[in-house]
Chains A and B, each alone.
Chain A
Amino acid sequence: MPLRDRPIQQKLTAILLLISGLVLLLTATAFAGYQYWSMRRTMRDMLAVRGRVMAANSTAALAFADVTHAREVLSALRADPHVLAAALYDQDGRLFATYPADLPVTAVPATPGPDGYAFARGRLAGFQAVAEAHGPRLGTLYTASDLDAIYDTFRLSGMIGAAVLAVSLLTAYFLSAALQRAISAPILALADTARAVSGRRDYSVRAPPAGRDEVGVLTDAFNQMIEELQRHATELEQRVAERTRELEARAAELLAANTELDAFAYSVSHDLRAPLRSIDGFSQVLLEDYAERLDDAGRDALNRVRAASQRMGTLIDDLLKLARISRAEMRTELVDVSAMARDIATELQRAAPERQVEFAISPGLKARGDAPLLRVALENLLRNSWKYTGKAARPRIEVGLVEANGGRAFMVRDNGAGFDMQYANKLFGVFQRLHSADEFEGTGVGLATVYRIISRHGGRIWAEGAVDQGATFYFTL
């Protein structure tokens, strides 16, 4: 668990423990170090003192070559079990007497070294000049002592020290565990409250007050924030309730409107078409049954009547379709625009095989939207292009994707009759046409339908064109 994620109590306790532990350790080490150094010094001093005493006692023995007496003097070292060896050398540096008496000569240096004591190879040893006060050097005393005294004392101190350290650490642990609560308790209370607020979204809780230190400030600020939150939440709830009511009312209205529209469309399908059928039908009857009694003008009139009623039928159908677009439910899915365009192209070609139109449809065009509605839109656009390239020499229709207005837009382009940009704003109006009926047939609802469909998808549609140079329709979804 990274350090940052550990609970505060743990961290505080750990810090306190660490510091006290460190302090104890440092102190203990310092003491131990001092003790060791001190012990060595004391030991050396003692050995030196003893050496001086022994040297003083051995002057005569050396001066008068009395080996027996020399050995006697040295044997006084028996009292100290830590003494490893001792030796007396005469004036010429030759070994004179040893302690213990039967010590092998290799246990002591062959010749005396410089005066003084030193720690080496696990023992303290050194040389002391033997001379009478103010007298010439009579010889040298060598003493060697083991360091067990130091080690024993050290071991003892070590154990005591370790025990003290352990007890201190334990005490420190308990104390810190107890004392850290003073810091951590208010923080934990704050954390609990925060969790209650964020977890249960319960804005009625408040953190318990926590004194005047920084944690207290934090707690107060926190409580204030919760109050604000509570207030905001309540406000929001009210507003949401209001809006919901509004929306519900609106939805009810819309539903009513839609139902009306449904009924309307339904009526239209039946009621408006029936009379048209009659008009057309009986005109035809006239044409058929009374043909010999009608002159050209008469026949022409009746034909116009028929044409007009049929056209009205188409208009009604187109309007119905447009109305349906507006109220159909949209289901969003991923649509393969390229495939759809190719499909429509094939249909158009099959319906009019005599026409040779080049189709350039970019592959991999995809969009998110209502598949049937998008199909209607694409059909209308492509049917338009198909229609208006009717007079072009080498008709070509493109479908692709372009960069436009900082985003990407689909594009349907043809090289047909085009339109005057002056009237571009009328393109998508219902029943608006920019060409006369004998140039190109149509009701002027196609683009309005496309416009309605694109709008329902939340997109934009716009067009560019020039007379006899084709038109390009861009749309986003």
Chain B
Amino acid sequence: MSEGKILLVEDNPDDVALTLRALKSHNMKNEVVVAKDGVEALALLFGAAGQPAMEELPAVILLDLKLPRINGMEVLQRIRASERTRFLPVVILTSSDEERDVIDGYSLGANSYVRKPVDFVEFTEATKQLGLYWLLMNVAPPAPRRP
């Protein structure tokens, strides 16, 4: 059992609630950190004025694309641009399956792209699979040396 944290970047509170519930239903005890938008996400990862960065980097980031202020692609870009977070697994979790978004996502270095189904049962199942894979099966990149 991995103790890795999950960073969920999602602006829709309903979706947040449902995702948390889904994760809980599969007895995943991993801590889930929620960022309501891109700015918060970046602050959590890199720190910002008046807010230190997360102590431990998450094991996986579940990233929505349609975010206010800074959108998902930009966040991804920043994540990949930083030495600290370059290898962090990022799963794009979004409603869109526009080809453009898929291509952009992979181009910017996302590890995976999952479309959120409307059907909650399906959604729960998808979340479970994501969790299983990224937290248990996937070997996380080594934590970078803290400055």
Direct contact of A and B (CB under 8 A): yes
Residues of A bordering B, CB below 8 Å: 265-266, 269-271, 273-278, 280-285, 306, 309-310, 312-313
Given contacts A270-B65, A270-B66, A309-B118, contact A277 B96 (CB under 8 A): no
Q: Which of B17, B94, B95 has the most CB of A within 10 A?
A: B95
Nearest chain A CB to B50 CB, angstrom units: 31
User: Judging by beta carbons under 8 Å apart, are A269 and B118 in contact?
Assistant: no
B56 on the interface (CB 8 Å rule)? no
Nearest chain A CB to B15 CB, angstrom units: 6
The interface size of chain B toward A, counting residues with CB under 8 Å, comes to 20
User: Judging by beta carbons under 8 Å apart, are A277 and B120 in contact?
Assistant: yes
User: Judging by beta carbons under 8 Å apart, are A285 and B21 in contact?
Assistant: yes
Assembled-state Cα–Cα distance A266/B65 (Å) = 11
- 4 smallest CB-CB distances across A and B, nearest first, come from A313-B118, A278-B14, A269-B96, A284-B120
Name the prevailing secondary structure of the B interface residues: loop
Residues of B within 8 A of A276 (CB): 118
Residues of B within 8 A of A274 (CB): 12, 14-15, 95
B83 on the interface (CB 8 Å rule)? no
Residues of A within 8 A of B120 (CB): 277, 280-281, 283-285, 306
A-B contact count (CB 8 A): 63
A-B contact pairs, 18 of them (CB 8 A): A270-B65, A270-B94, A270-B95, A271-B66, A274-B12, A274-B15, A277-B14, A277-B15, A277-B118, A278-B12, A281-B18, A281-B21, A281-B123, A285-B18, A306-B119, A306-B120, A313-B117, A313-B119
Given contacts A282-B14, A313-B118, contact A277 B95 (CB under 8 A): yes
Residues of B within 8 A of A284 (CB): 120-121
Assembled-state Cα–Cα distance A162/B116 (Å) = 109
Residues of A within 8 A of B3 (CB): none
User: Judging by beta carbons under 8 Å apart, are A277 and B18 in contact?
Assistant: yes
Residues of B within 8 A of A266 (CB): 96, 98
Residues of A within 8 A of B21 (CB): 281, 285
Q: Which of A270, A280, A281 has the most CB of B within 10 A?
A: A281
User: Judging by beta carbons under 8 Å apart, are B118 and A310 in contact?
Assistant: yes
Residues of A within 8 A of B18 (CB): 277-278, 281-282, 285
Task: Kindly identify, within residues 2 to 60 of chain B, every residue whose CB is under 8 Å from any CB belonging to chain A.
Answer: 12, 14-15, 17-18, 21
Assembled-state Cα–Cα distance A313/B18 (Å) = 17
B97 on the interface (CB 8 Å rule)? yes
